[in-house]
Amino acid sequence: MGMKEQWSLQSLDIEELVNKIIEAKKALGYGRARLVVDSLSAFWLDKPAMSRRHSYFVKKVLSKWDFTTLVTSQYAITTSEAFGWGVEHIADGILRFRRSVRGGILRRYLLVEKMRQTPHSLQMHEIEILSGKGLMIKGPVEMRKEDIALPNQVITRIQRTIERRDVETP
């Protein structure tokens, strides 16, 4: 972005993106094409209320141009929910990547949240990224204590609230 090259964007404007993609398709040839947009969230960072409108616009226009589109989107680390609430509504499939650190070791996970008209595993799977070879699925993750227990900070906060109420009520 910002470079003065034929396919570079000059701003984070969703219409400029779509126009540039169509311009490239016309120049490079018609027919089926694959497109990757990383990250669509960048187009609504300063206006998250526009995310749904922007993502519907992208899908509506680009589907007419015979694109298979892979879009990445941010999610809120604090809630693990979608950032902007737009892309997940238009997507035919959603692959969510997660991570955790246990015992000082980074572990990565993949969860297929949605795959229209396709039966798929509903379990989270641990994955490993292999240098130059892609992903290896290590297997489904077994239920952990964290899946059914409240985090320690929440338990401590609840206990403090109860203690305060006990002190305040005669």
Q: Report the candidate in 86, 53, 57, 56 with the shortest Cα–Cα distance to residue 72.
A: 86
> Given a cut of 70, is residue 60 above it in pLDDT?
yes
What's the pLDDT band for 82 if we cut at 50, 70, 90?
Answer: low
Task: Give the 3-state secondary structure of residue 20.
Answer: helix
Percent of the chain's residues with pLDDT above 90: 35
- SS3 of the chain: helix, strand, coil, percent, to 5: 35, 30, 35
Q: What is the pLDDT of residues 45-54, one digit of tens each?
A: 888 788 888 8
Report the predicted TM-score, pTM, of the whole model to 2 decimal places.
0.69
Q: Which CATH architecture has domain 1-91?
A: 3-Layer(aba) Sandwich (3.40)
Domains of the chain, residue spans? 1-91, 92-170
